[in-house]
Chain A
Amino acid sequence: MRSAVRDEPVSVLDRILAILDTVRESHGSTTITQLASATGIPKSTVSRLVGDLVRQRYLMRAQDGVTIGLRLFELGARASTPRRLTAAALPVLAELYNATGEHLNVAVQEGRDMLSVISVRGRLRPVPSRAGVRVPSATTALGKAVLAFTIDEGVLGSVITGLDSSRRRTFEKELVAVRTESVAIDRCETFPGVVGVASPVLSPERLPVAAISVAGPVADMDPKRIAPLVRHAALALTHRLALQVA
């Protein structure tokens, strides 16, 4: 997409979205200079577009650049998928928290990442993830739970591309096991000292819509004990989502 911005005449909307996307990739705050170099849009044009985005409250001026504005917070709070998942998941998460006391996440697939839409703090410090934060699909339990059931070859391919042939075979074997068990495990592959256990939430067509995970310190986190609890939570969430649609 970056090269498209440089090489071809693009619409104003594409430029506006490229600017917002760059602010997102910079974790919510950046400068005009960085925006210009990341998007390939001339700096004067970036300045002008940012001015418009600030006036319309999509962005806010900060000390040395721009940050996300309140309009995006307001619109984001009305986004459909997080709202539906949150409504369905809250009682399920409460039960899972009572049973484990650990860090919980419900996340959806977003490109090669998993995007957390709801998070409950457990005892892990620092907190490895929270709502609105992405974690890599390739290593997290959340990611593997969804990848095992995806039929999107492109997504699977993009995750596997980075692996050498022996690691690729291991990874594919792992996904087969996830399909059988409906549970994926991350043994300190993403965050040092943190074990994650996740189970997929499937649509009636058995396509992955989300995953739910429990994460805790490796010293006293027994994946065997947690697995049935997470599996049960994922089934409960699947069921509650089906009721929501009906």
Chain B
Amino acid sequence: MKRAAVIGAGYIAREHLDCLRSLASVDIVGICDLSPTLAQAAAEEFQVPHWYTDSAAMLRELAPEVVHVTTPPGSHVLLARQALEAGAHVLVEKPITFDRDELRRLQQLAASRGLVLLEDHNYLFNDSVERIREQAKAGRLGEVVHVDVIFAVDILGEGSPFADPDAPHPSLSLPGGAVADFVTHLAYLAYAFVGPPRAVHTVWDKRGSGPVPPWDEFRALVDAERGTASLSFSARAQPDLFWLRVHGTRMRATASLFEPLLVFERLYQGPRPLFPVRNGLAAAVAYSHSAVAGLWRKLGGRPITYSGLWRLLSRFYRALEEGAPPPLSPDWIEAVNRLVGDLVAQKTAQ
């Protein structure tokens, strides 16, 4: 049984808490937030025995073995260091930092104390992404040629915290603004299939008329060691979408990460003109299944978008219990951080 604590009681913390209370090997001992009401409300809702507004006091008094940092990005490094120094394994929401040196120092601190420092790359653990990675690993995709990652989400609409000029969203202070809040997802999905970048080209643009965020459109073309990747974020294209498409020499896989959609387009035996027919029928079945299964999961209160987070946390705690390697290695986290840094650095140069 691991004693866990959560720092930050906002929206994403609720997903962590919801998952943690479903894990038999976890005892949630404390929750902390600068707002006493948010901390107390989260403690009440998730039956956490202690709540704090001072993270240092919580770490000192409760001595948790694992700490989840779910605060806005600007505080991630400080709180992760504080938790590591208190002797806790740490899982930090993305991005830990855009500064490679800061990340390296944190990783060195974790390694020197025999602790795990993990960044939340949750979509990597969604069913559909795991299945595509299995197909790639087994060689059924053939050689991976290219990856498309497309994220479109309406962050400019009424009520969106990203578009509220009176209470600027914390991500707006990041290099890259609101887009930077999503770019880590694009980066680790690309990295998973095409590896480290050799060159990166980006377009950062603002097409919407509102005062915030500073950029609402982002495109990148990545020339990587094992193939190429195109990454796209749009705050204006609708409806909302998060697609991963992996193009192999023998198969193409398409997954929607907001729904349980997974489509494989294959090369078949037989006449070539029939390939589109068979692939079209397979896609129709996959879309129909996704529509029904997605609705069923929503009605059942089971996670869809954050299903990867639940799996990541489950594996993280199992690894801690068994003394096994964590679900993401320090090298992986550093490599993704480097790619994210390259993408964001181009914005700075522009």
Do A and B form a real pair? no
A residues engaging B (CB < 8 A)? none
